[in-house]
Amino acid sequence: MTTEFLVNQIKQKKSFLCIGLDTDLDKIPLHLLEEEDPIFSFNKAIIDATHDVCVAYKPNIAFYEAYGLQGWQALEKTMAYLNENHPEIFTIADAKRGDIGNTSTRYAKAFFETLNFDSITVAPYMGKDSVEPFLTFEDKHTILLALTSNEGAFDFQTRMLEQKELYKEVLLTSSRYKNSENLMYVIGATKASYLAEIRKIVPNSFFLVPGVGAQGGSLEEVCKYGMNDQIGLLVNSSRGILYASKDEKFDQSARKEALKLQKEMENYLQR
């Protein structure tokens, strides 16, 4: 998917909401456990109830790998369902991959070609030759971890490296990579106050912003400091939407939470 198409979707739907499909068998409604494929049944119900209020879905791959073959098959079915029924929705494999170039190419093929995701999250730690193989795929996006939402982000990412924080170096250096127009960045909603500085370094890039909802990040602050003239934001909530209730009407409870965020977003888009 092109960035232009994504921006149009955001404008049409008045939403830059990304719903994280972090499906956990210990948290889904009990009646679904009797189904043949509870993970897919849950995902399908969530997608059916929310696809008109969000522009992206982000399955975190850990939640699928944790269930072995059953989990991987549920991921494949979820992607096939999305690509067939909602090709206009941007899909993100939250996989945090990256390796020597030869191996990164195989990761890229797995997620961009075999599973047909529009994007993948990648760790920058191994540098240019580990990231560039992802960037060669046309209309596919590589979302580099820059300043993450967790407390441990302060262990390394904000450390000074020759008078510059490491996350700033990641932004600057990666923006010079070949095909860097295919780069986006992960910036945690819990670090919203950093966004003004970050925008100075990468004014035109899209940010995937996890951390509203369960992690307590502020959507208002994210929009205040992070929005650009092309919106430039995909704000993710996973648990806050998926597990809004555990009863028979879990999908409608999820919709209600998603709609709340979409309405807030609509408001910020009008400002």
Catalytic (active-site) positions = 96
How near is the Cβ of 241 to ligand LLZGTKA7 at its closest, in Å? 8
How near is the Cβ of 73 to ligand LLZGTKA7 at its closest, in Å? 20
The bridge status of strand 141-147 relative to strand 56-58 is unpaired
Question: Please, are residues 190 and 215 in contact by the beta-carbon 8 Å criterion?
Answer: yes
How near is the Cβ of 237 to ligand LLZGTKA7 at its closest, in Å? 5
Q: Which is nearer to ligand LLZGTKA7, 22 or 132 (CB)?
A: 22
- Exposure b/e, 147-164, CB count within 10 A at least 16 = b: bbbeeebeeebeeeeeee
Nearest Cα to Cα of residue 240 among 15, 27, 8: 27
One-letter amino acid of 211? G
Q: Which is nearer to ligand LLZGTKA7, 95 or 223 (CB)?
A: 95
The residue number whose beta carbon is nearest to ligand LLZGTKA7 equals 148
Residues that bind ligand LLZGTKA7 (CB under 6 A): 20, 22, 60, 94, 148-150, 186, 188, 210-211, 213-215, 236-240
Question: Please, are residues 145 and 176 in contact by the beta-carbon 8 Å criterion?
Answer: no
Q: Which is nearer to ligand LLZGTKA7, 94 or 169 (CB)?
A: 94
Show the beta-strand stretches assigned E in 130-231.
141-147, 160-161, 164-165, 183-187, 207-210
How near is the Cβ of 50 to ligand LLZGTKA7 at its closest, in Å? 14
Residues 6+ apart with CB under 8 A from 34: none
Residues 6+ apart with CB under 8 A from 31: 248
Q: Which is nearer to ligand LLZGTKA7, 12 or 54 (CB)?
A: 54
